[in-house]
Amino acid sequence: DGGITQSPKYLFRKEGQNVTLSCEQNLNHDAMYWYRQDPGQGLRLIYYSQIVNDFQKGDIAEGYSVSREKKESFPLTVTSAQKNPTAFYLCASSKGRGPYNEQFFGPGTRLTVL
């Protein structure tokens, strides 16, 4: 089955620790994205990548870092510099670049900072 997988489903972190969220897709999509969702709100863009070894900041990139070493993978690291990291994180992908490409989403990771 083609799709987007995210792991883990739930993640607990102590303050001051970095943590990495995994996102993998087997859809042969070029572009991948990370969004954050807070309770009762819509999604906000953290980072996106349109091609391997290249990525761009979104609206709320502070305290996050990403890498894109393989087309299939786009891991997100939540660093200790992120002041309010507790949230629901969703990864997405689209076939190509530009605005005329539908985005598809993974099941998400719920991060809680204790």
Q: With beta carbons less than 8 A apart as the criterion, state whether 87 and 106 touch.
A: no
For residues 17 and 97, which CB has a smaller minimum distance to other proteins in the complex? Answer: 97
52-81 residues in contact with other proteins (CB under 8 A) are 56, 58
- Provide the CA 87 distance to its chain's centre, in angstroms: 12
- Provide the CA 100 distance to its chain's centre, in angstroms: 21
43 binds other proteins (CB under 8 A): yes
The binding site for other proteins (CB under 8 A) comprises 31, 33, 35, 37, 40-45, 48, 50, 56, 58, 88, 90, 92, 94, 97-105, 107-108, 110
